[in-house]
Amino acid sequence: MNKNIEVINPYLWGVNYHYLKFMKEFANHNISFEALNDEPAFLSHDGIIVLNKSHEIYPTLKQFFPKIMENTDEELLNKIEIMKDKDRDGYDRVYKFCLDAEAKRRMLEKEFQKQNKGKPLIRKILNFLGFNNKKGVKPWHQ
């Protein structure tokens, strides 16, 4: 893996989005690099949150996400419900963003696992890398 990709945990990576177009791991993916430059994060189709290391809230997201990822599905849903009507300050908005992104990440991961269940190991690896025999390259983010 590219040394410029910081693997915070298996489901959370940090990458400077300004360099995405130069990274071979992202070269074959259907990503609008210019559109992503101002985004704090995006979700891959296989359930990985990719944080933008050059974004101003990267340090906050890097701290929030691992703690949120420790929650069970039920705890996560309860926190989303509690935060539903709260919008007191920027931290509320960032926290809600993290909760929603983690909920979506879990759904994407489950869908990805269902699609790859029973496939040969080589097919799983090729799909992970973004290759698909019939269609060429699969889009990497949602």
Contacts of 16 (CB under 8 A, 6+ apart): 4, 52, 53, 54
Q: With bands split at pLDDT 50, 70 and 90, how would you rate the model's confidence at 17?
A: confident
How many domains does the chain contain in total? 1
Q: Which domain holds residue 30?
A: 6-136
Residue with tokens 């590219």: 2
Indicate whether 109 belongs to any domain. yes
- List residues bridging with 13 in a β-sheet: 7, 50
Indicate whether 141 belongs to any domain. no
Q: With bands split at pLDDT 50, 70 and 90, how would you rate the model's confidence at 18?
A: confident
Position with higher pLDDT, 130 vs 2: 2
Distances (CA, A) of 83 to 37, 77, 113: 28, 10, 29
Q: Is the pLDDT of residue 11 over 70?
A: yes
Indicate whether 61 belongs to any domain. yes
| CB distance 51 to 15 below 8 Å | yes
pLDDT for res 125: 65
Average confidence (pLDDT) over 18-43 = 73
pLDDT for res 22: 77
Indicate whether 142 belongs to any domain. no
Q: Is the pLDDT of residue 65 over 90?
A: yes
Average confidence (pLDDT) over 73-88 = 92
Indicate whether 24 belongs to any domain. yes
